[in-house]
Structures are given as C-alpha cells and as structure tokens.
Amino acid sequence: MMDTAQGGRDAQMDISNILSSVNSKEEFMNFLNELRYDNEQRGEEWENKDINAFLEGVCSWVGDMEGYFRNMNMEIPENIDWKFIATLFYVGKIYE
C-alpha cells in the first residue's frame, strides 16, 4: 500500500471515500494522514480550526451520533469501545 501522505496523492483526495474504506489499522493510519494533509492544504475549509474547536465538534457529534446515523439511514453501531477511542485522543497529547 502506498503511503499517500508522503507522495502520489491526487490533487483532490476525497476524505469521505477514504473514511468509508477504513477496515484495518493501516487504512485507519492512512485516513489520519490524509485528514492531516487535508487540514494542511485546505484548513480554511475546516469548520473547526484549532484543537479546542475540533474536540468540541467531536464531542457534539458523539452527543448526537444516533441522529446522524438515523438521518444517513445507517445502522447505529453497538459495542463501541469508548475507552479505546478515549485512549486514541489522549495519546495524541503525549506521544511524539
């Protein structure tokens, strides 16, 4: 798999298409790299411009995620590992 965060990227990578194909650790890491690249290249298009606003947006979305899934006609996920998700956000604070 090519690391598209390093090179070989299409000019207008569609983050939502990448998101829909995340099914492995490697694909998740690729998604994060593309999301970071998108912010670097098109940060002015982002609703949440800094980490505080980003975390607030995530928190708000989690509070309304059932409505999101219903509106998108998608099954609401069950057995979400909230501690793991919290760990992902926490290690972003401390890991180099």
Domain positions in the chain: 11-46, 47-96
Give the global pTM. Answer: 0.78
Q: What is the four-CA torsion angle of 26, 58, 73, 24, rounded to 10 degrees?
A: 10
Percent of the chain having pLDDT more than 90? 80
Residue 77 burial (CB < 10 Å; 0-12/13-18/19+)?
exposed
Q: What is the pLDDT of residue 2?
A: 43
Q: What is the pLDDT of residue 16?
A: 86
* Residue from 18, 5, 23, 93 nearest 54 by CA: 93
Q: Which amino acid is present at 86?
A: A
Q: Are 31 and 18 in contact (CB under 8 A)?
A: yes
What confidence tens digit (pLDDT) does each residue in 54-96 have? 999 999 999 999 999 999 999 999 999 999 999 999 999 999 8
Cβ contacts of 39 within 8 Å, gap of 6 or more: 46
Across 1-29, average pLDDT: 72
State residue 72 phi and psi, 5-degree precision: -90, 5
